[in-house]
Amino acid sequence: MQDNYRKLEGILYNYKNIIAEIKNIDIEIIDLQQEYTGCGAINYKEKSSPTNKFNSTVENEIVSKEKQMTYLQNMRDGKQRLINQINNAIEALAENERKLIELRYFDKLHFKEIALKLNINDTYCMQLKSKVINKLIPMIFITKI
């Protein structure tokens, strides 16, 4: 449980970075789709192997790009699922709990600043944060508990 607590805090602290990574992966996928060398001049170095397998630069390029795109798409999908889980879990929180998470982890404010904005005691603010994180853990790590 303590491991999930730290892991969730790390995810929340990196929430904006994960969203930026998703956008960068999308850009990379678009770049891969648009950049294509295609057919060139005949290269006499291309020979068939004893198994009659052709070693074409065009085929190699296509296979390589497909592998890259599949890898990037899988990475993007995993990150997007994580963001969706976080968003769904945060929506289930009360307004003051949601605001505390946003101020602490997304805006990276100190407890005194958060306490002032939420009009609560800073000691209670720390206790509320622990309570909220423990509330989020079963929502985020459904299969890992």
Q: pLDDT at position 61, please? A: 77
Q: Which domains does the chain have, with CATH numbers?
A: 2-36+57-140 (1.20.140)
140 within 8 A of 86, measured Cβ to Cβ: yes
109 within 8 A of 103, measured Cβ to Cβ: yes
**What does the pLDDT look like over 18-50, one tens digit per residue?**
999 999 999 998 988 887 655 555 555 555 555
Q: pLDDT at position 1, please? A: 64
End-to-end CA distance of the chain: 8
Mean pLDDT of the chain: 86
**What does the pLDDT look like over 83-131, one tens digit per residue?**
999 999 999 999 999 999 999 999 999 999 999 999 999 899 999 999 9
Concatenated DSSP letters of 86-143: HHHHHHTS-HHHHHHHIIIIIS---HHHHHHHHTS-HHHHHHHHHHHHHHHHHHHSST
Of 3 and 52, which is predicted with more confidence?
A: 3
Q: pLDDT at position 63, please? A: 81
**What does the pLDDT look like over 47-80, one tens digit per residue?**
555 555 556 676 777 788 889 999 999 999 999 9
